[in-house]
Amino acid sequence: MSELVARTGRHQQRYLDGCRLVAGCIPFKYINSKDESGSPSEKIVEVLMINSTSGPGLLFPKGGWENDETVEEAAAREALEEAGVKGDLMHFLGYYLFKSKTLQDELCPEGLCKAAMFALLVKEELEFWPEQSTRQRSWLTIPEAIACCRHSWMRKALEEGFSKWEADENNRHHVSSLASSPDQH
């Protein structure tokens, strides 16, 4: 088995206009809920969050976007390193600005960060991953995730970015399945 190692250091970091550029994602999956009789009733979306290594609350995987990768590659890499998941980036959710309390340097003296966030449909949950010794994974419903989210900018990405996109996707699939089925009247 090859050893998985997380990238470290700031020498490859991207900066723009005094902001450190960050990439991250909201990993998600669909589970089938069951009604009282045990029959499948609807699909429920769950999102994957990880513990913070610097305090209480849960986070979505994110980290520095480096010079030798695209923003999409950086988001997927962070999901692998921090949460131990692989999948398909489904949608760009937007840019979210925040101030880092711990990461200030000569290129970013105010600690300002600009995060590009994506929806990541999880296809594989790894048994071993680079940060497994310091990270625990939690699959949560969207309301649970909103309640547990440590940072307001991540909560905004979940509520305004992911939830809106996911609802639009479900509506689009529902409408197309209705349009393709014969009229039962």
Give the residue ranges of DSSP H helices in the chain. 71-78, 142-148, 152-156, 163-180
Using CA atoms, how far apart are residues 105 and 103, in angstroms rounded to an integer? 7
Q: Which residue has the tokens 């610097």?
A: 54
Helices and strands (DSSP H and E) totals, the chain: 4, 8
Using CA atoms, how far apart are residues 95 and 105, in angstroms rounded to an integer? 21
pLDDT value for 105:
59
> How many angstroms separate the first and last alpha carbons of the chain?
58
Radius of gyration of the chain (CA): 18
pTM of structure: 0.83
**Distances in Å between the alpha carbon of 180 and those of 40, 45, 173, 177?**
22, 24, 10, 5
With CA atoms as reference, report the closest residue to 133 among 74, 78, 69, 81: 81
* Contact (CB, 8 A) for 75 and 22: no
Q: Which residue has the tokens 């398909």?
A: 88
Task: Provide the token pair at 25.
Answer: 């994602």
pLDDT tens string, the chain, 185 residues long: the values are: 334 655 555 578 899 988 999 999 999 999 987 777 776 677 899 999 999 988 888 999 999 999 999 999 999 999 999 999 999 999 999 999 999 876 555 566 678 999 999 999 999 999 999 999 999 999 999 999 999 999 999 999 999 999 999 888 877 754 444 344 444 44
CATH class entry, domain 15-173: alpha beta
pLDDT value for 59:
97
With CA atoms as reference, report the closest residue to 75 among 119, 140, 110: 119
